[in-house]
């Protein structure tokens, strides 16, 4: 049997959250819509008034971005909204100035997760080697799939695209390439609803002209450092000797940058993985102070511990490292953690350890966020947890 060349696909759902919302509210198709922020009274009132007839809500009745007050960011914007310059991770208040009339819908993760499961089931029924990369993205190994090599993967990509659309009404974009790194870039070449095939020989013509930032793993910081050296495109990066990159970016990072620029990536498509940590965090509606808002902070803290405990129980894990995260009003972040002897998933035990962590961090500045994390996870056998059932400790805050 002849070894097949590796063919890896990256599939990215198009404007996923927004597209799922448009299935519920088809009357908003073509309008600027952004998804972000939490559910508010207005949203609930509207949904209640039109229960079971969501598609009949007149577009004019939807809340607008300009009416939003509070903290939050855009998670997704429809293509019509992107025309106004608004996009993912932008603050809602800033977006409101760019496109005040855009419709603002609250994030409904439960619904997106349902669609996520559905499109992934479709993929798995066609190509079984799939790596989950979040709600709206996967890598798929086409190499051994019957027909996976035809037209460089285009035939199989088309089949998957059509099958997902038939099952969900949603569109996606797919890139197929010799490895994950290039496939990830390729899936962006023809968005939305596109397919891009990249062959090994296409590196110079199709990859090198791209900005370094397009490489998955090069973020704003590394990009700035590269720019400072006059490296703007992936071609610029490829032109630097490996030794030079190692000298300026360190042994591991330098070598990785060089490999990435030359399109080298041997990472396998990983079908299963164990979680490393679970956490819950919340940004307050207003900045809180450890002294004057002590009671409120204590309540929030306890709730976060309970939520993490619930998450651990639901997924069947326990963990040994308990940590907190806080973000001050000036956006500075501090973390503290503590490793305990016995792994736990018990809310009171988590609360106690996290409370100890809180004592080790300065609490003079106002806070905007508090988080609780449990790490060093291991599968939970289901037995009783350390501390479980004991009476709750008095609030430490």
Task: Write out the residues near DNA by the rule CB under 7 A.
Answer: 71-73, 75, 88-89, 91-94, 97, 133-137, 184, 215-223, 250-253, 275-283, 311, 320-321, 323, 330-331, 333-339, 357, 360, 368-369, 371, 376
The answer to whether 43 is a known ligand-binding residue is: no
Whole-number minimum distance, CB 122 to DNA, in Å? 18
Question: Do you find a cis peptide bond into 192, omega within 30 degrees of 0?
Answer: yes
**Would you report the helix, strand and coil content of the chain in percent, each value rounded to 5?**
40, 20, 35
Is 202 flagged in the annotation as binding?
Answer: no
Whether residue 160 contacts residue 148, with contact meaning beta carbons closer than 8 Å, is answered with no
Q: Which is nearer to DNA, 40 or 336 (CB)?
A: 336
Rounded to whole angstroms, how far apart are CA atoms 153 and 9? 8
Closer of 94 and 162 to DNA (Cβ): 94
Minimum CB–partner distance for residue 208 and DNA (Å): 18
**Alpha helices, H only, the chain:** 16-24, 41-49, 79-82, 92-98, 109-126, 154-168, 180-186, 220-228, 234-239, 242-249, 251-261, 294-315, 347-358
Length of the chain: 397
Give the C-alpha separation, 89 to 249, whole Å.
Answer: 28
- CB-nearer residue toward DNA: 113 or 150: 113
Least distance CB 149 / DNA (angstroms):
25
* Catalytic residue IDs: 137
Give the shortest CB-2-to-DNA separation in angstroms. 33
Q: What angle do CA 354, 355, 360 make, to 5 degrees?
A: 95
Alpha carbons 132 and 272: distance in angstroms, whole number: 8
CB closer to DNA, 7 vs 368: 368
Q: Residues comprising the binding site?
A: 12, 136
Q: Residues comprising the binding site for Mg(2+)?
A: 12, 136
């Amino acid at each position: 049997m002849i070894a097949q060349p590796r063919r890896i696909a990256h599939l990215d759902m198009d404007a996923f959250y927004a597209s799922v919302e448009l299935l519920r509210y088809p009357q908003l198709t073509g309008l600027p819509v952004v998804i972000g922020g939490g559910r508010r009274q207005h949203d609930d009132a509207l949904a209640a008034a039109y229960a079971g007839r969501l598609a009949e809500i007149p577009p004019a009745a939807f809340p607008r971005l300009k009416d939003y007050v509070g903290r939050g960011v855009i998670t997704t914007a429809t293509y019509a909204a992107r025309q106004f310059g608004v996009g993912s991770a932008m603050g809602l208040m800033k977006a409101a100035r760019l496109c005040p009339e855009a419709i603002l819908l609250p994030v409904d993760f439960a619904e997106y997760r349902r669609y996520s499961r559905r499109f992934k089931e479709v993929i798995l029924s066609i190509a079984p080697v799939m790596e989950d990369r979040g709600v709206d993205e996967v890598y798929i190994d086409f190499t051994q799939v019957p027909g996976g090599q035809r037209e460089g993967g285009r035939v199989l990509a088309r089949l998957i695209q059509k099958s997902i659309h038939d099952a969900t009404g949603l569109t996606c974009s797919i890139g197929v390439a010799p490895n994950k790194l290039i496939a990830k870039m390729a899936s962006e070449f023809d968005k939305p609803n596109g397919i891009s095939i990249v062959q090994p020989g296409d590196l110079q013509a199709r990859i090198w002209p791209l900005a370094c930032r397009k490489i998955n793993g090069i973020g704003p910081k590394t990009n700035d450092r590269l720019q400072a050296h006059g490296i703007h495109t992936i071609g610029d990066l490829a032109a630097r000797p490996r030794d030079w990159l190692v000298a300026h970016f360190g042994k591991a990072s330098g070598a990785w940058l060089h490999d990435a620029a030359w399109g080298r990536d041997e990472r396998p498509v990983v079908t299963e993985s164990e979680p490393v940590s679970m956490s819950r965090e919340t940004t307050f509606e207003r900045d809180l102070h450890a002294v004057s808002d002590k009671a409120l902070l204590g309540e929030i803290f306890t709730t976060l511990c309970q939520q993490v405990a619930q998450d651990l129980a639901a997924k069947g894990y326990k963990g040994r490292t308990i940590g907190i995260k806080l973000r001050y009003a000036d956006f500075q972040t501090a973390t503290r953690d503590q490793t305990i002897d016995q792994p736990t998933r018990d809310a009171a035990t988590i609360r106690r350890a996290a409370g100890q962590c809180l004592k080790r961090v300065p609490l003079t500045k106002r806070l905007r966020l508090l988080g609780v994390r449990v790490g060093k996870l291991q599968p939970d056998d289901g037995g009783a947890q350390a501390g479980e059932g004991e009476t709750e400790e008095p609030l430490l805050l």
